Amino acid sequence: MPFFCFPSDFVYWDTVDKHDELKSLILPKILAAKDGNKGNPWKASIVNSSFDYDVGEHDKKNVMLNDLFIMENIVKQPINDVFSQMSKVYPHKIEDLFVKNWWWNVYERGHFQEQHHHNGEPIEKDGKLFHPILSVIYILHDENPSSSVLFTKTAPIPLHGTSRDLTFDTGDLSQVKEGCVLIFPSGLRHCVRPCSVPGRVTISFNVYAKLCDQMEWPIRQNL
Ligand SMILES: [Fe+2]
């Protein structure tokens, strides 16, 4: 019974094994930097973020997170898990990946982020073109009773009411909490609901990919 499956949006989550080590390594640095940081560059959000549209400023603020232990445990291993599971059903043409940028967000009481996505222009690296493919959110510290991230796929959605958006609320899941990593395609829209317990700290990463031009999209004989 053959199927052609179009590439799909998804949200993956898992607990990061080395969370305690990562937290003691990273959290003190972010807490030391947050009071000297001026807000965030987004129009409607209220959050203390080290994201900056000025690339030089952005890199300066976030160089403290440029660490192999961080990248291996928060980004590389979870992304390997995503591909080892997802590739069985959904096709992709990813040939090579790199982590383009990363930043921290600190949420005090009532802080939130407007709905947004992480898409951007492709960039050239070593003579090859890389596209934004995946984004990662790592919940470094959070004492809220439930997670605040809401993902939305806008209508029309196949096999769903034609005018209805589909929302996935990570707040419904007890496993999505401090120590958890969320991975999703860069274009998937999401927002962060107002925080009730102050002090939530997350780190975001954007992962870019070189795509294979020659490969055929696979047809599955069984799902
Ligand atoms: Fe985001």
**Which domains does the chain possess?**
12-211 (2.60.120.620)
Q: pLDDT at position 94, please? A: 94
Nearest to 108 by CA among 172, 40, 24: 40
CA pair distance 56, 40, nearest whole angstrom: 16
Distance 112 CA to ligand 1 centre (A): 11
pLDDT band at 89 (very low <50, low <70, confident <90, very high): confident
Distance 105 CA to ligand 1 centre (A): 10
pLDDT band at 215 (very low <50, low <70, confident <90, very high): confident
Average pLDDT over residues 141-166: 94
CA pair distance 21, 134, nearest whole angstrom: 25
pLDDT tops 90 at residue 167:
yes
Residues of the chain with pLDDT > 90, as a percent, come to 88
CA pair distance 25, 67, nearest whole angstrom: 10
Distance 46 CA to ligand 1 centre (A): 13
pLDDT tops 90 at residue 183:
yes
123-125/200-211 β-pairing: unpaired
Report the predicted TM-score, pTM, of the whole model to 2 decimal places: 0.96
Distance 223 CA to ligand 1 centre (A): 31
pLDDT band at 43 (very low <50, low <70, confident <90, very high): confident
pLDDT tops 90 at residue 222:
no
Average pLDDT over residues 203-214: 95
Q: pLDDT at position 88, please? A: 81
pLDDT tops 90 at residue 39:
no
Greatest CA span in the chain, whole angstroms? 59
| Mean pLDDT of the residues in the chain | 95
Task: Give Cα separations from 214 to 57, 127, 131, 217 (angstroms).
Answer: 38, 18, 17, 10
Distance 137 CA to ligand 1 centre (A): 8
pLDDT tops 80 at residue 123:
yes
DSSP 140-168: EE--SSS--EEEEEPSP-TTS-TT--EEE
pLDDT tops 80 at residue 10:
yes
Distance 222 CA to ligand 1 centre (A): 35
Average pLDDT over residues 127-148: 96
Distance 190 CA to ligand 1 centre (A): 6
CA pair distance 170, 147, nearest whole angstrom: 6
Distance 51 CA to ligand 1 centre (A): 11
Distance 73 CA to ligand 1 centre (A): 20
Distance 203 CA to ligand 1 centre (A): 10
CA pair distance 51, 58, nearest whole angstrom: 6
pLDDT tops 90 at residue 47:
yes
Q: What's the token pair of residue 101? A: 């940028």
